[in-house]
Structures are given as structure tokens and as C-alpha cells.
Structure 1
Amino acid sequence: MEFEKMRDIIVETLGCEAEQVTLEASLTDDLGADSLASVELTMALEEATGISIEDSALAEMKTVGDILNYLNSHK
């Protein structure tokens, strides 16, 4: 998945600014994602990519870069 496409999904789902979404940005600390927002984001990314994100993997993803790496390694 391209970073720009993922960034747009994150901005739409979490309601943050596009400038805040960097590979190093923490989902909770920098982007304000709580547990419900994380689930919504996961569902949006799964729908956009057709890739299923396991709950155990989701718990380990702390940054935008973690999610991008996961999606790209599970194409």
C-alpha cells in the first residue's frame, strides 16, 4: 500500500491533520487513536487493501510505519 493512500484513510478515520501522519507518528500519542478508533482504522484499512489484520498483530503496531510495514509484508 502506498503511504499517501494509507495517510488519507488515517486522516479520514481518526480526524487528524495530514501533516501529523508520518511514518514515526504514534497512533495513540501523536494521532489520538483510542481503542475504538484503532478498530475503526483497522476495518477501514482491511476494506481498502483486502488484507486481514490479526488482533495480535494490531496490538503490536504502535506507529504508522508499523502498519505500513505489516500491510506491505502481507500483500
Structure 2
Amino acid sequence: MNREEIEEKVKALMVDELEIEEDKIYSEASLKDDMGIDSLDYVDIVVIIDRVFGFKIKPEDMTGVKTYGQFCDYIESKLNCQ
């Protein structure tokens, strides 16, 4: 799966599963401040990513992930390690 496919899939998940408005999803968007993702949403994200991409998110891996672009970077790095 290439970067563009990852971003498209993650964006669709954010819109469909978390009901985030599509215009709020862009590379530099803050997950918390711009997209409104809270701690309960992170729990949902862990389940969704496991179901869709087949790996579990470790909380310690997410400490430096602040933006949508960084989140896609994280997913891409995990997929490339499998």
C-alpha cells in the first residue's frame, strides 16, 4: 500500500467512523485542536486501525504524533515493517 492509498483510507475512516468533517483533515491538522479528536476517539482509532490495517497501536508510539500527517507517517512505518 502506497502513501496516497494510506492517506485516502485513513481520511475515509476519520470521516465515516469518527464523523470528522473532511475539510478539517489535512497534513498539518492537529489531531486534537483542528480535528477535535479526544481520548475516547483514540480508543476507537486503536480498534479501527487494528481492524483495517491489521496491527495494534501502542500508546507509547503515539506520544510524538500530533498531526494527521504524522499519524499517516506512523501507519506507513508500521505497514512497511510487516
The reply to whether TM is greater than 0.5 is yes
* 2:13 alignment partner in structure 1: 9
Query: Is residue 20 from structure 1 mapped to residue 24 from structure 2 by the alignment?
Result: yes
**DSSP 3-state at the match of 2:63:** helix
Percent identity reads: 31
Q: 1:7 to 1:69 in 2, by over 3 A?
A: same
Normalising by the residue count of structure 2, what TM-score does the alignment of the two structures yield? 0.80
Normalising by the residue count of structure 1, what TM-score does the alignment of the two structures yield? 0.87
Q: Which ranges of 4 or more aligned residues in structure 1 deviate by more than 6 Å?
A: none
Give 5+ residue unaligned stretches, structure 2.
Answer: none
CA distance in 2: counterparts of 1:14 and 1:32, whole angstroms = 10
Q: Which has the larger radius of gyration?
A: 2
- Give the drift of 1:40: 0.7
Equivalent position amino acid for 1:36 in 2 = L
> Over aligned residue pairs, what C-alpha RMSD do you find?
1.3
